[in-house]
Amino acid sequence: MSWAGKRKMFYGGIACLAFALFLLVNIYPKLNKPPTCVDAKQNGTETGIDCGGGCERICQAAAVPLVVKWSRAFKVGDGYYNAFAYIENQNLLASSKIVYYQFDFYDANNIFISSRQGATYIPPNGRFGIFEPAIVTGNRIPKNTLFRFTSIPEWLRVSVDESKQSVFAEAGVPTNLDVAPKLPVTISNPTITSIQAIDALAIIYDNDNNALGVSKTVIDGMAAGTKKDVTFTWREPFAGEPKRTEIITQVNVFANR
């Protein structure tokens, strides 16, 4: 081979090597990105597209659907009602930042009165309540209250410690029953950390476990090892004799991250 041919072959090899290095440095990394939980692909340890495995998001197929135990409207004044839905989340280590819902109200003839839409978080592992105040019904009386979720919750994994972020409530005896009932409650944070964004709901039942009234209070936060006295109130006497009290306390774990 002539010297010119050898030189041409040498420089051709250099060019091929440079092109290969260019591909290796600039193209290969883009085509071989490590799997992530936001790449719209099922890869890595994921059990679905960007869910399951090591991802924070839980696949819908792996989540237990929410259970609506009951829903009611409670009179708080002429033409005004509060609505409440009693829900159970059976997912021990799963929560949701936001889910949308709707209450529909019907009279004794099952004729539609009105609706109320809203949004809430879902606490992990257990019962929680959805409360909507001051629903205007005019001169119509809601006899049937239907509740439904209007969106599918995006389930997110929470830690064991987050699932234990809870406060405890000790209810006193209802008073002022003939005029405007009151219920004193002491709420305690027995944990070693401060807890923010606490919702507390009080449900009063009669002897047949029928709910007579529901009230809600919001606590911005509680320091570790502290107690707080709150009073739940109602504007009108109950339609029956109170026999049992249930206090639901729920914490938005995402507000505590």
Q: Which CATH class is domain 64-158?
A: mainly beta
SS3 at position 15: helix
165-257 CATH choice from 3.30.70.270, 1.10.150.110, 3.40.1080.10, 2.60.40.10: 2.60.40.10
In 10 A of CB 157, how many CB atoms? 17
Contact partners, residue 87, CB within 8 Å, separation at least 6: 66, 67, 68, 69, 127, 128, 129, 130
What residues pair up with 214 in beta bridges, in sequence order?
A: 203
Per-residue pLDDT of the chain (257 residues; tens, 9 = 90+): 565 555 555 445 555 555 556 545 565 455 556 667 988 889 988 899 999 999 999 999 999 999 999 999 999 999 999 999 999 999 999 999 999 999 999 999 999 999 999 999 999 999 999 999 999 999 999 999 999 999 999 999 999 999 988 899 999 999 999 999 999 999 999 999 999 999 999 999 999 999 999 999 999 999 999 999 999 999 999 999 999 999 999 999 999 98
Q: Please report, for residues 25, 71, 182, the alpha-carbon distance to residue 140 in angstroms, rounded to integers and kept in the order given.
A: 72, 18, 27
Fold match flag (64-158 vs 165-257): yes
Is residue 222 a contact partner of residue 179, using CB atoms and an 8 Å limit? Answer: no
CA dihedral of residues 45, 46, 51, 52 (deg, nearest 10): -60
Instruction: Please report where in the chains the tokens 């005029």 appear, as a residue.
Output: 179
Q: How far apart are CA 257 and CA 255, in angstroms?
A: 6
**What pTM was estimated for this model as a whole?**
0.84
Burial class of residue 236, CB neighbours in 10 A (0-12, 13-18, 19+): middle
Q: In the chain, what are the domain boundaries?
A: 3-60, 64-158, 165-257
